[in-house]
Amino acid sequence: MTPSICVYCGSRDGNSPTYSEASEALGRGIAARGWRLVYGAGDVGLMGRVARTVQAGGGDTFGVIPTHLMQLEVGKRDLTSFVVTETMHERKKVMFMNADAVIVLPGGAGTLDEFFEVLTWRQLGLHEKPIILLNIDGVWDDLIAMLHGIVARGFAEQSLLDFVQTAPDAEAALDLLTFG
């Protein structure tokens, strides 16, 4: 079975070209390994960049988008698989259930929501899938510090920190993944 990588990321490009470059490098790496991209099915921002790059490399793409975001995120209909859901909750569930690992590129509140949901599920023992923060130019440094603070203040066990790996670039993130 082809490994599937769920990528959470922004529907905007952000204010640094390194974010776009990282999303494209991640797309190239996923395609080069013959893995499938699972993502939010948008054709804008980092989402669109990673999907178009996977497609350009001949890779499979599995996109999931709720009906209310079809226009805002410009639903990318030319994917290998294109799923439309009724709600955001369904979108997140379908994406996660069709993935073997999660990589988090830079993004906003939606990206953080997705990250914290899968981190919570991991903490509760509901899965053992790898979760990797692609920490381009230190974009996730404050988030990583916050996670350490949560543990230091006694709101989570030390094991919480073991559930999240970080990588400085796309290649390093992909190299953290091994599939049997």
List all residues 6 or more positions away from 91 whose beta carbon is below 8 Å from its beta carbon: 40, 64, 65, 66, 85
Residue 134 is inside which H or E element, if any?
A: strand 131-134
Question: What pLDDT does residue 144 have?
Answer: 98
Residue where the block lists tokens 């204010």: 15
Rounded Cα distance, 146 and 67, in Å: 33
| Cβ–Cβ under 8 Å, residues 99 and 38 | yes
Side chain identity at residue 91, one-letter code: R
Q: What is the spatial order of strands in the sheet that 81-85 belongs to?
A: 81-85, 61-66, 36-39, 4-8, 101-104, 131-134, 164-167
**55 in helix, strand or coil?**
helix
Q: Enter the pTM of the model.
A: 0.96
Question: What pLDDT does residue 70 have?
Answer: 75
List all residues 6 or more positions away from 144 whose beta carbon is below 8 Å from its beta carbon: 133, 135, 164, 166
In the chain, what's the furthest Cα-to-Cα distance?
Answer: 47
Q: Which domains does the chain have, with CATH numbers?
A: 4-174 (3.40.50.450)
pLDDT in 10s for each residue of the chain, 180 residues: 899 999 999 999 999 999 999 999 999 999 999 999 999 999 999 999 999 999 999 999 999 999 988 777 777 889 999 999 999 999 999 999 999 999 999 999 999 999 999 999 999 999 999 999 999 999 999 999 999 999 999 999 999 999 999 999 999 999 999 986
Q: Vertex 38, ends 128 and 51: CA angle to 5°?
A: 145
3: left (phi over 0), alpha (psi -120 to 50) or beta: beta
